[in-house]
Amino acid sequence: MKVLKWLLIVVVALLVGVIGAGFVLPDTAHVERSVVINARPATVYTVLNGFRQFDKWSPWAGLDPNATYTVEGPLMGVGAKQSWRSDDPSVGAGSQEILESVPNQKIVMALVFEGFASENRASYLLQPEGEATRLLWTYDSTFHGNLLGRYFGLMMDGMLGPDYERGLVALKTLVESLPATDISDLQISLETVDSHPMLYISGSAGPDEARDVLGAIYGRIGAFMAERQLQQAAPPIAITRAYDDETRAWQFDAALLPDRSEVDVPELSEIRLGQTYGGAVLTVLNTGPYTEMETLYTRLTAFREIAGLQDNGDSWEQYLTDPSTTPPQQAQTRVYWPVK
C-alpha cells in the first residue's frame, strides 16, 4: 500500500508540475521562413493576393488527393477565402481568409483549424532586393491560456518550419516561371459589373481606321436612338470578338447603352439588341493615345496569368472622352476583362 501511496503522490506531483510549468510557458508561438524570388514585388504580391495559385505551390496540397477545397468571396484581396476538408487527420478541415492587403508590401490572413481554439495569423511580408523580392512567410498562434496549446507551441517551429521551407521553394519556382512583364504601376482593380441592354452593330477595322469606323457606327446607332427618344445610359463601348496579332485586324461589336430595355428593333435592321456581360471583371483606365492600348493589353494579360485568373468572356473598351474633341494625350479609355 505504501508503494501505491508514494506512486500516487509522484503522479500527482508530476501532474502539478506539468500544469504549473504550462502556466509559465509562452502563450504564443511564432514561425517564420524567407526566400529571395527573382521577380518584382508586384508579381509576388499578385500571386499571393488570392488563392487561385495557392494549390500550385502549397506544401500541403498533395497530402490528400481526396480533400475538397472551396474558394469563396472576392477573387483577390480582402475577403478572399479558401476552405478545405479532409478525412486525413494530417490535413483536417479549416479555412484561410485575407484580412489585410497592402499592395506589393504585405498580406495578412486569418487561419481557422477545426477543433482548435487558438487564434492564428499568417503573413506574407515583401521587401524589394534590386529586381528581386525577399519574401518573409510568418505564422503566429495565440493560445489564450490553453495549456495543451502552450506545449504544442514549443514544437511549432519544428513541425511547421520544414513545410514552410518546401512551400517557399515551390513558390519561387512558380513565380519565376510566370511572365516577367512589369505590372508594378498597373492601376488595376477587380470589380463586379451589372448586365445592361445594348444596341450594337458588328464591324471590323485595322488600327488606322478603327476611330473613323467606330465613329460612323455610333452615329448610326445614335440616330436610331434619337428617333425613339432613347438616351445614352453610359459612354460608348466596343466589345472585342476577335483580334489577329499578325494583321492587327479587329472584329468588334460597337454599342451604345440605352436608358430603356424595351426597344423595338426592326428585323432587317443592321442594329441588334443585346445584353452586356455581368459579373467579375478586371478593369484598368488608360489615359493617353489609343496607340498605347496594345501595351496595356500585354500587361493586363500578364496580370491575369500571374494572378491565376481565367477568361470569362470577351473584353471590351469604354470610351470616356470624345476623340473628335479631346487631344490624344488626354483621351481616356477604360478596359474591362471578364474573369473567374
Domain CATH code at residue 217: 3.20.80.10
Position 8 pLDDT exceeds 70:
no
What CA–CA distance (Å, rounded) separates 245 from 184?
A: 25
- Same domain, yes or no: 172 and 216: no
Per the structure, the complete domain to which residue 42 belongs is given by 27-177
Percent of the chain with pLDDT strictly greater than 70: 90
Answer yes or no: is 232 within a domain.
yes
Segment holding 38, helix H or strand E: none
Q: What value does the mean pLDDT take over residues 68-92?
A: 94
Q: Are residues 40 and 141 in the same domain?
A: yes
Which has the closest alpha carbon to 26: 149, 139, 115?
149
pLDDT category, 159, cuts 50, 70, 90?
confident
**Average pLDDT of the chain, as a whole number:** 91
Q: What is the pLDDT of residue 62?
A: 87
Whether residues 110 and 198 fall in one domain: no
Is residue 214 a part of any domain in this protein? yes
What is the average per-residue pLDDT within 274-288?
97
Indicate whether 291 and 168 sit together in one domain: no
Q: What are phi and psi of 231, to 5 degrees?
A: -110, 155
Residues 211-239, mean pLDDT to the nearest whole number: 96
For residues 224 and 170, state if they share a domain. Answer: no
Smallest CA-to-CA distance from 39 within 145, 152, 153, 128 is with: 128
Beta pairing partners, 283: 189, 336
Per-residue confidence (pLDDT) for residue 149, from 0 to 100: 62
Q: Are residues 163 and 220 in the same domain?
A: no
Q: In the β-sheet with 28-37, what is the strand arrangement from edge to edge? A: 28-37, 132-142, 119-129, 106-113, 93-102, 81-85, 68-72
Please state which of the ranges 100-104, 161-165, 251-255, 293-297 shows the lowest mean pLDDT.
293-297
In a domain, 9, yes or no: no
Q: Does residue 182 form part of some domain?
A: no
Judgement on whether residues 193 and 246 belong to the same structural domain of the protein: yes
The last residue of a domain, from among 148, 177, 206: 177
Q: Mark whether 131 and 161 lie in a shared domain.
A: yes
- 8 is a domain residue: no
Same domain, 296 and 246: yes
Report, as an integer, the average pLDDT of 306-316: 97
> Can you tell me the mean pLDDT for 5-11?
49
HSE-CB at 222 with a 13 A cutoff on CA atoms is: 10
Mean pLDDT across 2-26: 49
Decide if pLDDT at 9 tops 90.
no
Residue 216, number of CB atoms within 10 A of its CB: 12
DSSP 173-237: HHHHHS-----TT--EEEEEE---EEEEEEEEE-TTTHHHHHHHHHHHHHHHHHHTT--EEEEEE
pLDDT at res. 22:
46
Q: Are 48 and 107 in contact (CB under 8 A)?
A: yes
Amino acid at position 330, single letter: Q
Note whether 198 and 271 are same-domain residues. Answer: yes
65: domain CATH number is: 3.30.530.20
- Mean pLDDT of the region 2-20: 48
Task: Give the pLDDT of residue 25.
Answer: 58
Identify which has the larger pLDDT, 208 or 69.
69
Q: What is the mean pLDDT of residues 239-252?
A: 94
At 311, list the grid cell: 477568361
Query: Which of the listed residues 132, 156, 177 is the one where a domain comes to its end?
Result: 177
Question: Quick one: pLDDT at residue 301?
Answer: 96
CA–centroid distance for 127 within its chain: 20
Q: What is the pLDDT of residue 153?
A: 64
For cell 513545410, the residue is 163
Section 304-325 average pLDDT: 95
Average pLDDT, stretch 267-278?
96
* Local confidence band at 309 (pLDDT 50, 70, 90 cut-offs): very high
Other C-beta atoms closer than 10 Å to the C-beta of 191 total 11
Give the chain's radius of gyration (CA, Å): 28
Sequential DSSP letters for 76-124:
SSTT-EEEEE-SSTTT-EEEEEEEEEETTTEEEEEEEETT---EEEEEE
**Same structural domain, 225 and 146:** no
Same domain for 227 and 259, yes or no, is yes
Q: In the predicted model, is pLDDT for residue 68 greater than 70? A: yes
pLDDT of 17 over the 70 cut: no
**Would you give the DSSP letter of residue 339?**
B
Per the structure, the count of domains in the chain is 2
- Say if 57 falls within a structural domain: yes
Q: What is the pTM of this model?
A: 0.86
pLDDT at 26: 67
Return the higher-pLDDT residue of 50 and 26: 50
In a domain, 5, yes or no: no
Lowest pLDDT segment from 9-18, 77-86, 105-114, 276-285: 9-18
**Predicted local confidence at residue 118, as pLDDT:** 82
**From residue 167, how far is each of 15, 55, 64, 160, 170 by CA, in Å?**
38, 10, 16, 11, 5
| Last residue in a domain, options 146, 177, 208 | 177
